[in-house]
Structure 1
Amino acid sequence: MNKNIIYIGIAVIVGLLAGFLLFGGDPAGTAANNATDIHEHSDEVAANKMWTCSMHPQIMQPEPGDCPICGMDLIPAESGAEGLALNEIKMSENAMALANIQTVIVGNTSETEGNTMSLSGKIMPNEEANAVQASYFEGRIEKLNVNFTGEEVRKGQLLAIIYAPALVAAQQELLTAASMKESQPGLYKAVRNKLKLWKLSENQINQIESSGKVRENFPIYATVSGTVSEKMAEEGDYVKQGQPIVKVSNLGTVWAMFDAYENQISQLKEGQKITVTTNAYPNKDFEATISFIDPTLNTQSRTVSVRATLNNKDGILKPGMFVTSKVNISKQNDSTSQIIVPASAVLWTGSRSLVYVKTNPNKPVFEMREVTLGAKNGETYTIVDGLTNGEEVVANGTFTVDAAAQLQGKKSMMNTDNSVEVDATNHLTQVERLEVPAKFQTQLKAVFDDYMTIEKALVNDNAETPKIAAGALLKSINNVDMKLLKEEPAHSQWMHLEKELKTSASAISKTSDIKIQREQFVHLSAHLINAVKTFGINQKVYVEYCPMANNDIGAFWLSTNEEILNPYFGASMLNCGEVTDEIN
């Protein structure tokens, strides 16, 4: 027994000694060092970590806390939002394709480009060559030899025969005076002059005098050659002296009438050479010179009429034809060449001009950039400040990118605040309500009604009705009269919104795939929300939001009631969502 105890004791001592040799050292010091390393690493990670909400991924904050929308604890965002800056957004390749987002690399203007300006207009008759053929005496038109508008007439051609009672009496006076011309030559001469004032020729007067017979019907001859542009009387009509019968236009020369915007006026002057092209003859250029610039501005369209006279001896230019022209403009005398971008790349809010720059050439990552605009030349803008040569900007789908920025709580067209926090009562940024005519609001209400037809169909998982309703929505958009918006920025904002609404509606109208319809409905809703907020439709509507729609990015929609009926999931998640805003 004693030996066993001794053996056990020796084994314990040996085990303790071996453990000390294997795991010995300074355990407390090592633990402290490890804790220090972990703490320093945690501080380093925390310094670069962003926090988000699992239910509202558009929330991005630099420190932990509660979600300002639902109150849930924020969780670390994945990889610091993939290394994005606070005002950068990333879109999926699928979203890029659906929205047809296209980019261009901007560059400096060269000596051969950027020095022309494009104008659009149409061909009109040369008013200086117009003539009205009138009746020189009262009577009834017995015969009219002009049968239709567009008929060619020649000078001296018989146009009409008129029964003229007044001329009957005048002829009788001539016959009486002719019998007394030896004794009363003054009277005879006065009667002949009276007939000449009614445009009777010397030959006609002599025939009446020699025949001794009074004529009841008299001819009217064309005094000019040209094309009949308007018939102003018909056979059997009773016309007064001086009343027009036909209007004749000489189309040997025609006018090209163009509309120039305010910011283009300074680059135009009379005598300036232009090149005119038409759709009918795309490979033929017509040289012309600006002959007139309207001294007054059209306050409705904010344009000035510019006129050029074109030689049309071959008659190939028809009044009503659409034409475009290129006007040579003088290069600006600054030492630095300027950047030009497509007009579609610029979002204009009245006080700010914005573009979206692709910050990563290999990924769809974008950042909003404020720029200073120079002159607009046709479909391009000159950028005075804000871009550098070689940068890549969004040229098509700019509004869609801006809508994505709003959805993700980033800096956007309607949001100048650099903070990315989202108000718990309003996921979309506040948009300034603009004063517009009630008629415009009524027309926009028709667009909203068609939108609601699409929404209700998607709620019911119906893919056929949205396809038809989207076609109706396109017609309603076309019926919105942009001319009712007389002032900026309303005019420009609707112009951009109209384009984006049409793009989304057109895509929905072309498919019966409800998944694609719902993807496009995200963009349609975002732009219509901005339109309704900006212009109003004289109806209270609700903005509603589902954080799980749009691949968990979140998506908004409009509704006429507070009850949540989710168009993005239908029956599978019918009541998922919340009301985020009311538009009165």
Structure 2
Amino acid sequence: MNKKNLSISLLAACVLGASGFGLYQLGLKSGMTNAPKAVATNSTDLPAAASVDPSTWGIPEGETATRRHIEAGIKGGDVDPVTGRSILYYHDPMVPGKKFEAPGKSPFMDMMLVPAYAGAQGSDNGTISVSPRIQQNLGLRTGEVVFGQLASEISAVGTVAWNERGQFAVQARTTGFIEKLHVRAVLDHVRKGQALLDIYVPDWVAVQEDYLTARRLQGRGLENLAEGARQRMRQAGMSEAQIALVERTGQVQARMTLVAPASGVVTELMAREGGTAMMGTSLLRINDLSTVWVQAEVPESQTGRVAVGAQVEAQTPALPGELFLGQVQALLPEVNPATRTRKARMALANPKGMLVPGMFMQMQLSGGQVPPTLLVPSEALVRTGKRTLVMVVEDGAFRPIEVQIGHEQGGQTEVLTGLSMGQKIVLSGQFLIDSEANLKGVETRLSSTNEQGPTSAAPQTYRTNALVEAVTGEMLTLTHPEIPALKWPSMTMDFKLSPDVASPKPSAGSEIDVEFRMQEGEAPQIIQWRARQSKVKGAKQ
């Protein structure tokens, strides 16, 4: 009995499995038959939209038009009886490039396909439509073009550096031996006239003895001997002060003390006690701190407003409350490619010596008078690399407008041409609209108009033979073989007769040769056709 019951159970399971598989195959076949077909594009594998009962989709408010299209069976190429506009195709805005000929639910996202219209809101006049639901999901914000004035002041940052024009070099005027250093370390402060080092100069002994001997001699014509000895002391490198000291004391002065030519900081110290100082050798270098330089980083877009001699106000976090004044000394020919800033040299007064090299400075530069102009938020600009665009709102649709921009400051940018005051523009989400404009060829046509002018080359045409499957008004459904020039496989798709093509139209079932051209956002347009010599069965003569 157990074996018999087991056999009956296995048989029942097999029957149920076969029945379920049959029902699955039937449902799959029905779903594939009712699913909307994708409009042919360059892709060879387009998915179909989901086909389920519209009443179970839970269509939100605002998508009633799509529900009506489903119930009325309105497909791509048909005219919407409510709006009177031609529906080009259906698409998912979140997956650009995929087009469907019938309404339905997107196979990619949990949302419905959106119709793309021709006419006032479509690509015919260069505008792009975006579903209100998509706009809300993206948080799309808009603003207006205003007439205003940028601030006359320019902000910049930089670091303090030595004023190279306040640099002094102390050199040996003759060969000698360094006996004593009064300054022993770099960055020591010195005052003007302060002793720096003592040098013993053996060569001075002989010329000074000659001078003192000539002065002691009495007689006519001996004055020239003393003057000649004085000139030899000058040639040996003695200064007027040292010669006067020899005359006043009547003694040989073989040691020389070098003093600081200005107050400042010792930035270089090459001399050492016991060393030899050769004629012309640099012994010390002193930098004046009464004025300092600031190497400022000015935004590249604002350098046109920076003028040499403009007043500068600077502050540093190291000295809160202290204000330093100066002016623009030079705009250096160097731009930082990483930060897109240009170096400007500022000269700041530093009477108390509080500013030292390396300090961080925040500055306000006087940019002069700035005339009022049109302004838009900088976030509204779409920079494509070749041009700058702004998305303008027109009757609920969007149009890309090329603009020329000027200076940028504080999140605002000057608009020189392309817009007018009060126009409504897109501030956020414009990159999705720009991608849709590229998809529909709006920006391409904009580029062609700007670069080629009103006269442009004729569009490229293609030829193929085809079988006429159906004729609906100006639309022909054709089955064509592979078209290598377009990388199209053999398929069945819709073509549109050009208004210039004279009647009669080809009949269903006939084989024809066609010449057509591509249209952005619309079916290919047949500009010429003729009947082939061989006819298929059932073709009309």
| Normalised TM-score (structure 1) | 0.47
1:350-499 paired onto structure 2 within 5 Å: 350-354=385-389, 370-377=402-409, 380-384=412-416, 385-386=418-419, 391=425, 393-394=427-428, 402=431, 410-411=436-437, 417-418=441-442
Distance 1:91 1:228 in 2: 71
Distance 2:205 2:325 in 1: 54
Match of 2:201? 164
Is the Cα–Cα contact under 8 Å of residues 374 and 420 in structure 2 kept in the other structure?
Answer: no
Match of 1:240? 278
Match of 2:114 among 80, 85, 101: 80
Displacement, 1:416?
Answer: 9.4
Distance 2:273 2:380 in 1: 59
1:213-362 paired onto structure 2 within 5 Å: 215=254, 217-258=255-296, 264=302, 266-281=304-319, 284-293=322-331, 297-298=333-334, 306-323=344-361, 324-332=363-371, 337-342=373-378, 346-354=381-389
Distance 1:379 1:186, change over 3 A: farther
1:63 aligns with 2:101: yes
Paired residue secondary structure (1:338)? strand
Structure 2 letter corresponding to 1:80: V
Is the Cα–Cα contact under 8 Å of residues 114 and 131 in structure 2 kept in the other structure?
Answer: no
Distance 2:132 2:356 in 1: 51
Distance 1:128 1:350, change over 3 A: same
1:155 aligns with 2:192: yes
Where does structure 2 lack aligned partners over 5 or more consecutive residues? 1-68, 122-126, 445-541
1:137-156 paired onto structure 2 within 5 Å: 137-156=174-193
Structure 1 letter corresponding to 2:197: A
| Normalised TM-score (structure 2) | 0.50
Paired residue secondary structure (2:192)? coil
Which one has the bigger strand percentage? 2
Distance 1:314 1:354, change over 3 A: farther
Bigger Cα Rg: 2
Distance 2:300 2:108 in 1: 51
Distance 1:141 1:269, change over 3 A: same
Which string of whole-angstrom CA distances, capped at 9 and with x for unpartnered residues, describes residues 69-124 of structure 1?
Answer: xxx9999961528999957599999x99xxxx99896764646x533333444433
Paired residue secondary structure (1:410)? helix
Distance 2:131 2:160 in 1: 47
Displacement, 1:352?
Answer: 0.8
Which string of whole-angstrom CA distances, capped at 9 and with x for unpartnered residues, describes residues 118-160 of structure 1?
Answer: 3444433333332222222122333333333322111211111
Match of 2:160? 123
Is the Cα–Cα contact under 8 Å of residues 145 and 419 in structure 2 kept in the other structure?
Answer: no
Distance 1:202 1:121, change over 3 A: closer
Is the Cα–Cα contact under 8 Å of residues 348 and 354 in structure 1 kept in the other structure?
Answer: yes
Structure 2 letter corresponding to 1:160: L
Is the Cα–Cα contact under 8 Å of residues 335 and 342 in structure 2 kept in the other structure?
Answer: no
Distance 1:135 1:151 in 2: 20
Distance 1:214 1:289, change over 3 A: closer
Distance 2:115 2:249 in 1: 107
Distance 1:187 1:87 in 2: 105
Structure 1 letter corresponding to 2:268: E
Identity between Structure 1 and Structure 2 (%): 21
Distance 1:241 1:310 in 2: 36
Displacement, 1:247?
Answer: 1.8
Distance 1:87 1:253, change over 3 A: farther
Distance 1:205 1:238, change over 3 A: same
Is the Cα–Cα contact under 8 Å of residues 133 and 246 in structure 1 kept in the other structure?
Answer: yes
1:135 aligns with 2:169: no
Is the Cα–Cα contact under 8 Å of residues 89 and 410 in structure 1 kept in the other structure?
Answer: no
Distance 2:147 2:317 in 1: 28
Which string of whole-angstrom CA distances, capped at 9 and with x for unpartnered residues, describes residues 445-502 of structure 1?
Answer: xxxxxxxxxxxxxxxxxxxxxxxxxxxxxxxxxxxxxxxxxxxxxxxxxxxxxxxxxx
1:195 aligns with 2:233: yes
Displacement, 1:262?
Answer: 6.8
Distance 2:196 2:440 in 1: 71
Distance 1:105 1:137, change over 3 A: farther
Which string of whole-angstrom CA distances, capped at 9 and with x for unpartnered residues, describes residues 49-71 of structure 1?
Answer: 854589x9343436359xxxxxx
Is the Cα–Cα contact under 8 Å of residues 124 and 254 in structure 1 kept in the other structure?
Answer: yes
Displacement, 1:313?
Answer: 0.6
Structure 2 letter corresponding to 1:351: K
Paired residue secondary structure (2:225)? helix
Where does structure 1 lack aligned partners over 5 or more consecutive residues? 1-35, 66-71, 421-584
Using the TM superposition, name which of 191-200 and 39-48 deviates more. 39-48
Distance 1:178 1:187 in 2: 8
Is the Cα–Cα contact under 8 Å of residues 205 and 252 in structure 2 kept in the other structure?
Answer: no
| Aligned-pair Cα RMSD in Å | 5.3
Is the Cα–Cα contact under 8 Å of residues 142 and 427 in structure 2 kept in the other structure?
Answer: yes
Distance 1:228 1:187, change over 3 A: same
1:173 aligns with 2:210: yes
Is the Cα–Cα contact under 8 Å of residues 116 and 328 in structure 1 kept in the other structure?
Answer: yes
Distance 1:155 1:120 in 2: 33
Distance 1:108 1:191, change over 3 A: farther
Distance 1:75 1:270 in 2: 59
Which string of whole-angstrom CA distances, capped at 9 and with x for unpartnered residues, describes residues 353-398 of structure 1?
Answer: 2467899x9xxx999764321223476532334486675625xxx9
Distance 1:167 1:252, change over 3 A: same
Distance 1:262 1:174, change over 3 A: same
Distance 1:315 1:181, change over 3 A: farther
